[in-house]
Structure 1
């Protein structure tokens, strides 16, 4: 088996193809076609290459893995291992991945890419199910029988048995293990077969041996909607969730020339927003009420939606997160106007624009000059690393609250 190739880049970085290197023209062509099918939202096509945007994660094209990492520092030689850990931790906190080896301070195991985390976790879950014993379920089966069983399907019977009138094409219930849930798990395993690293190949082959009796059907989004996880199959939930991620993000080669393509991409703006909310929700004090993605009508059919609303017994605060690097006193006019509307609509005296920190310092609360309403907004900057490792979520949450609620009490 050929050694798989691996490239790590940061968001907004450029990657140009070179037919003598790892990233070649056919990889570029596959990525362009994939991007076009998704309204060109994942990256920008440049001369002989790609410029990545706000989406981070991983793209696997055949034997090439491209991992796109977040970066909130100005270092040219930024630590890729650190920022991979940051991304894994944020995915864990936001419940996009559930793996115990990802801690808030370090990884007990080094992964080549975040896809390897999903692959290994998926294999571990399916192995656990096999060891426990795969469950049987009732399912509908349509087939030709020598005797009438269940319900006769007249149209199909005429079509199938015009000559062999001694047969009956009927629909009946079967109680076995070849049901949709196992067929979905099988499809997830077969996708892994294309992309998995050599170190996991033996484990995959052993698991596939246990699934050889199951039918390999074409799984689409609607198949997942048909599966009901009940008391009998609740142990399947994690494996089912990961299989859904793997299968729905897999693009077979018929769309991209000779290359199979698997993507797992996250908008860093959305991930940053949810990460801040979840750590605040987890580590807040009882007297603070926090709500996420509040949406209300603004004008006609248009709506406004601040990221986070905090309420104490006496005050309301608004936080809007922005994953971008700006100067300490240089918010955009658009961001400030947005915060002013939030202050008015949610009757908040103070609001916070929250950015990742490089070397900036927080601004003071600035006044909106509009009919002396007393509405204020400040710029806050938060570092989610301590330069060499991931900063503990509780510390980050307390730093955010200090910038808004506790500082406000001192004013």
Structure 2
């Protein structure tokens, strides 16, 4: 089992830090320094260590996993915050647990990396069980019978001695195609990195036909067209993309490979609030990141207003703007720049009410404020709960109360 180094946002992990007798060593740090060179913003380099930023998730480095968890109050219970993170990711669709192949995740440890690995294995098993799609492809090779098109130049080059052979180009209908090559490559990666004995990756790897190696990039995935036959592959390809494009093997020394599955906590909080409201507040039209042109330069340049969430009542057309902030508000007064931003939103979107939404303690309300034009600005603190249903319910209840106040 890999050793888990758990820390919160903006905390530091330094050389010599130890968990269960395993230390964070120089070769771990060097691997992360090399990974940092790829332009990743997931952490900052500090003296003899790394410092977590606003990104949360997991970083797999050789024989250890660095787990970065969100934190919005004084509770230091790692299990609680791990459940909060996974619940939020499920809500925004990072875990597609509604699919028939991954409806019942059985891994009990609930570590993020384990959950993604298990989801992927379940998706692959589902595809194998229902039958892998075959596609036509062109193949060039030596055959003992003449079929297809004879490639004369290569035939003369390769078969001067073996007169009984024909070098031909012909059409083959089989499972050896790019989509399966991607899935196989990701399956091999999971087999390489998995350290959870509860997940039988070996059996899945043996059940999947061996594929040619394929070099993958963003373009590889972007070019895939999911037709009707390939539609069941969508979830497996999503996870394969996440794993393969975030994996950086150490080609110089070996053994210091890095896989990072990290999420911007500010964006995750915004999306979590938006989806929670869209599912429950059906009497409002609710949109995220609505852009409206704010300023046009004389010669060039444009500026837009883009609030996190714009709500409009379906009957009385009441407009409400919400802006989410994943941070612990220290006093009853928000940051002045945040208040100025909300005032601008109220004017530009003709909103009757605006509100800043923070995570925090259950049942805490930071108050309401009014500007001279009688536009109300709420400061809403949503209780963070490891129970996903209560967490979502808390978001909806607090916003509904504000809308009706």
Specify the TM-score bucket, using the shorter chain as the normaliser: 0.7 to 0.9
Q: CA 1:236 to 1:354, structure 2 compared with 1: closer, same or farther past 3 Å? A: same
- CA distance in structure 2 between the partners assigned to 1:130 and 1:84 by the alignment: 32
- CA distance in structure 1 between the partners assigned to 2:118 and 2:238 by the alignment: 14
Match of 2:4 among 3, 6, 17: 6
Deviation at 1:26, TM superposition (A): 1.1
Are 1:231 and 2:228 counterparts? yes
Q: CA 1:352 to 1:161, structure 2 compared with 1: closer, same or farther past 3 Å? A: farther
Deviation at 1:267, TM superposition (A): 0.4
Match of 1:254 among 251, 273, 296: 251
Q: Which residue of 1 aligns with 2:27?
A: 26
CA offsets, 1:208-249, max 9 Å, x none? Answer: 223343212222222222322222232222222211111111
Deviation at 1:50, TM superposition (A): 1.3
After TM superposition, the structure 1 = structure 2 runs for residues 8-407 of structure 1, keeping only pairs within 5 Å, are: 8-18=6-16, 21-38=22-39, 41-75=41-75, 78-99=76-97, 109-111=107-109, 113-143=111-141, 158=153, 161-162=156-157, 164=159, 171-200=169-198, 203-254=200-251, 258-285=255-282, 287-300=283-296, 301-312=302-313, 313-358=316-361, 361-369=364-372, 373-385=373-385, 389-407=387-405
* Aligned residues of 2:368 and 2:377 also touching (Cα < 8 A): yes
Deviation at 1:255, TM superposition (A): 6.5
Give 4+ residue runs of structure 1 displaced > 3 Å after superposition: 142-153, 157-172, 255-258, 358-361, 388-391
- CA distance in structure 2 between the partners assigned to 1:96 and 1:336 by the alignment: 32
Q: CA 1:138 to 1:339, structure 2 compared with 1: closer, same or farther past 3 Å? A: same
Q: Secondary structure at the match of 2:132?
A: coil
Deviation at 1:84, TM superposition (A): 0.7
- CA distance in structure 1 between the partners assigned to 2:175 and 2:16 by the alignment: 48
- CA distance in structure 1 between the partners assigned to 2:166 and 2:95 by the alignment: 48
* Aligned residues of 1:12 and 1:53 also touching (Cα < 8 A): yes
CA offsets, 1:321-377, max 9 Å, x none? Answer: 0001113423112211211111111110210000011378434432334xxx33331
Deviation at 1:43, TM superposition (A): 1.6
Deviation at 1:122, TM superposition (A): 0.9
- After superposition, the CA RMSD in angstroms is 2.7
Q: Secondary structure at the match of 1:331?
A: coil
Q: Mind listing any 5+ residue stretches in structure 1 that lack a counterpart?
A: 102-106
Q: CA 1:276 to 1:256, structure 2 compared with 1: closer, same or farther past 3 Å? A: farther
Q: Mind listing any 5+ residue stretches in structure 2 that lack a counterpart?
A: 100-104, 297-301
* Aligned residues of 2:56 and 2:265 also touching (Cα < 8 A): yes
CA offsets, 1:38-61, max 9 Å, x none? Answer: 25x222211111111110000001
Aligned residues: 387
* Aligned residues of 2:182 and 2:240 also touching (Cα < 8 A): yes
- CA distance in structure 1 between the partners assigned to 2:290 and 2:54 by the alignment: 23
Q: Which moved more, 1:295-304 or 1:135-144?
A: 135-144
Q: Secondary structure at the match of 2:269?
A: helix
Q: Secondary structure at the match of 1:37?
A: coil
Q: Which residue of 1 aligns with 2:102?
A: none
Deviation at 1:403, TM superposition (A): 4.0
* Aligned residues of 1:384 and 1:391 also touching (Cα < 8 A): no
* Aligned residues of 1:137 and 1:176 also touching (Cα < 8 A): yes
* Aligned residues of 2:88 and 2:268 also touching (Cα < 8 A): yes
* Aligned residues of 1:56 and 1:267 also touching (Cα < 8 A): yes
* Aligned residues of 1:380 and 1:403 also touching (Cα < 8 A): no
Q: CA 1:190 to 1:282, structure 2 compared with 1: closer, same or farther past 3 Å? A: same
- CA distance in structure 1 between the partners assigned to 2:310 and 2:252 by the alignment: 43
TM-score w.r.t. structure 1 length? 0.85
CA offsets, 1:125-156, max 9 Å, x none? Answer: 21122222222111233445577755677xxx
CA offsets, 1:265-297, max 9 Å, x none? Answer: 000000000000001001113x21111110122
Q: Secondary structure at the match of 1:254?
A: coil
